[in-house]
Amino acid sequence: MQLLSIILSLTLTATVPAPLREPAPLREPGSWSVTGPGGAVTARLGLDDAGRLSFGVDRQGAVVLAPAPIGLTTTAADLSAGLSFLGRGNRTVRERYTRTTGKQLERDVTLTESTFRFDRDGTRLDVVVRVSGEGAAYRYVLPASATITGEASSYSLPVDAPAWLLPYTPNYEESRVPTTAGPAAAGDYGFPSLFRVRSNYALLTESDVDGRYDGGRLTHAPGSGAYTVSLADPLITSAGPLSTPWRVAVVGDLATVTGSMLVDDLAPASRLSDTSWVRPGMVAWSWLSEHSSPADPDRQKQYIDFAARNGWPFVLIDEGWSDAWVPEVVRYARARGVDVLLWLRWTDLDTEQERATRLPQLRSWGVAGVKVDFMDSDSQERFRWYDEILAATAAQHLMVNFHGATIPRGIQRTWPHVMTMEAVRGAEQFTTRAATNTIFPYTRNVPGGMDYTPVTWAVTDRDTTDAHEVALALVYESGWTHLADKPETYESHPLALRTLSRLPTTWDESRLLSGAPGQETVIARRHGDRWYVGGISALPAHTVPAGLGMLGDGRYLAETLTDGDHGLERTSRIVRRGDTLSVPVAGNGGFVTVLCAYTGSASCDEPVRQVPATTLALSGGPESVKAVFTLPAGGPLRSVRLEPRAPRGWSTTGAPVTAATLRGGESITGTWTFTPGPDVPPGPVDLPIAATFTFAGDPGYPDSPGAQRVHVEQVVHTLVPPPDPTGTPDVSALPFLTESNGYGPVERDRSNGEADGGDGNPLTMRGTVYDTGLGMHAPGEVTVWLGGACDGFSARVGIDDEVTSPGSVDFQVLGDGVPLAASGVVRSADPPAALTADVTGVRILTLRATDGGDGKNFDHADWALARLSCAA
């Protein structure tokens, strides 16, 4: 269906105006209008007697954006003045598409488009204008390669227009400022920016930004209503014809602005023909409430168990996870119907080699998606990286959440596996204010998913009530909603947990019912045949009237969660279309109402997805692996399939084992062999066998597109050994079988340095520089293959001189898991210590650096001159 929608969109938008005979350039001024379907919005393009262009927008006959200069400059020409009009072409554009996330999944919209052709001394500039019932946009088109030096693009607002502006930073995480267009402070402001012009609102932003351009922002000089577009780079290069991003003005009342999808309407169509692997949903996330927990696999399993109990499909493991244990935790999660998402720095994926290595590895573990962090740039170079990472993650069927990122500019239409983006001052700032929260639905959340990480009692510096916190999960739109507190905290608020576990994260339609920026937001959203009404307030206690004109025929049960005298409380009543739901809201409070068809039931609660417990036992080795998959009790399971999953370069023999039904107490058994190919690299490898199934009671059961097959996997651990070392090799010259490090990668012949590989300094301790060795950060560890061919190990160990404060490390040597030698705690003030070990007969050597018992800060551990004595 998705592919058909894309084909229809391409067909319907391919209407081309009749060819124009280019007239001689017209030097006199001109004025043109483009009116959108329905006649509410009109864009006005002007050319004055100096050949300068202007652009403005009216709504229902009233000026919203007064005509303001537009144009651009290149290294070859100034295309902001001296222009002559050549001609105009018109067409109607119809956009029909399906989203995987968002406030409206199915979209069908018609826009009016006009292309205006201009010339300056033989250099061509086209201005394309599109208008819909929600606003107007324009872009520049250059027919040949060019280097852009800037834009004259600007907007003109009344000086007394109220405004809600974001002081610009490239991660969009500053606090929004309620101000006025003219007196607003001088400086740069990030998109989207909201202005009220009498009875209308204008939201200014941009769409269709990728690596062919960079991200813009608004620059304001105080005292006027003029806001100009500034670019991130001094120069933007284009190797061929260039269509710039759309300069977008969403105009209308607040309901129009809040519900607008104009940014998506202007974006390129989806680049994915298959989105069946893309899944939104609630996410359990531990970093905000307990920073150290992502480094603790046992604690992550507790989050997984909590998510499974409550039907949340995902757990995000943030900064601190390790290659050493993530694969096993992923297997643990998937057997319980929970998928794992992993945090990464963007610098972990900023080269083609890193993407080609790391992303397939994550997918082979069964990871469902990634949170990529700290991009912190709107440059053309960074947008080219976005192009690359989006294509690479899509190829691996890895969904994406961008943090430390730019704002959505249509990216979720073009790349439907982008579930959400941060670009907001969210709960992780540990300061929550109701007045700020009520601005986001009218600003940041309009162009796309917003990863605010809501609903946390861990943030104690807040003026919001408990019901306000819960309502954020409904009022804010995000394909993945990362709920940010501990399992124990949610379980101590059972009414909140009951509501959260039944909220969708995607919507068939959304409507603003009432509110104003900085005061209140009341939104109704539909998912299937249910409606959900949520409100957040920054006002004193009052009663919110929520009109229910959107309901269908018949009676509905309305269950409402609000703040009560003794904590959260839940009430219910029977309502019909056209009724008004009157909800008492506490000061800075909120509410959530679930509306379901009334069938006589006392509750709208639906069963929470509970995956049956199963076991998968493996025995044997690569030459013969026996697998027994059992359903101890319950069920039945359907469409059961048991099979090996050969790693890349490996082959297996034996057919899958299947069962149409598996009932409690029943098992299926299979036996397979694994064989490595000639190009399999040396090192440890996991040989997986997996059972997949559906089960009675699961949504979409048994095999419809909505059914999510459960994946139960276990592995046989084996090793493809490298050649035995000979002579007296440096450990840094040998291949690592495994590697982990407290910060960044383990460095060869350099100190640990910072987070990136190769960024260390020469190994230096107490002023002495060493040519070879390993640079670690505690806790760190590497293993290397000896194969029983060596008899001695030696090194000089200590804290590298690069640290700015004292560190402490205990250096340990292990052979086949057995301790052989240890330095004891070595501190920065200590001289390098000699460390030797007898490794006779050892197959696998482990070099480990622990934190000395006082934390890992400044524990840059050097293994200088780490060498082996091996057989010739």
**Residues belonging to the active site:** 373, 428
Q: Residue 118: exposed, middle, or buried by beta-carbon count in 10 A (0-12, 13-18, 19+)? A: buried
Estimate to the nearest angstrom the gap between the alpha carbon of 229 and the chain centroid: 27
What whole-number distance in Å separates Cα of residue 344 and Cα of residue 35?
46
The two three-digit tokens of residue 533, written as one number? 């009404």
b/e map 656-681, b = 16+ CB within 10 Å: ebebeebeeebbbebbbbbebeeeee
Strand order in the sheet with 520-527: 509-516, 520-527, 530-537, 590-597, 555-564, 567-576
Query: Phi and psi at residue 821, in whole multiples of 5°?
Result: -160, 155
Give the separation between CA 578 and CA 555, rounded to whole angstroms. 11
Pairing of strands 200-207, 187-197: antiparallel
The residues, any chain, with a CB within 8 Å of residue 795's CB and separated by 6 or more, are 731, 773, 811, 834, 835, 836, 847, 863, 864, 865, 866, 867
**Residue ranges of E strands in 99-157:** 106-120, 123-132, 135-142, 146-151, 154-156
Please name which of 297, 340, 329, 321 lies closest in space to residue 741, comparing C-alpha atoms. Answer: 321
C-alpha to C-alpha distance for 605 and 601, rounded to whole angstroms: 9
Return the bridge partners of 147, or none.
Answer: 237
| HSE, side-chain direction, 13 A CA sphere, residue 595 | 27
DSSP 261-302: -HHHHTSPPPS-S--TT---EEEEE-TTT-TTGGG-HHHHHH
Residue with the two structure tokens 């030698």: 821
Residue with tokens 């590298």: 800
CB-based contacts of 4: which residues, under 8 Å, 6+ apart?
none
The span from the CA of 437 to the CA of 637, in Å, is 45
Coil/strand/helix, residue 445: coil
Q: Is the peptide bond before 636 cis (omega within 30 degrees of 0)?
A: yes
Looking up tokens 């001052």 gives 425
Q: What distance in Å separates the CA atoms of residue 424 and residue 482, rounded to the nearest whole number?
A: 14
DSSP character for 609? P
Cα angle 349-350-352, degrees, rounded to a multiple of 5: 85
Residue 170, preceding peptide bond in cis (omega within 30° of 0): no
Cβ partners under 8 Å of residue 767, min gap 6 = 801
Query: Residue 76 — φ and ψ, nearest 5°?
Result: -100, -25
- Which has the closest alpha carbon to 257: 33, 444, 433? 444
DSSP-assigned beta bridge partners for residue 535: 522, 591
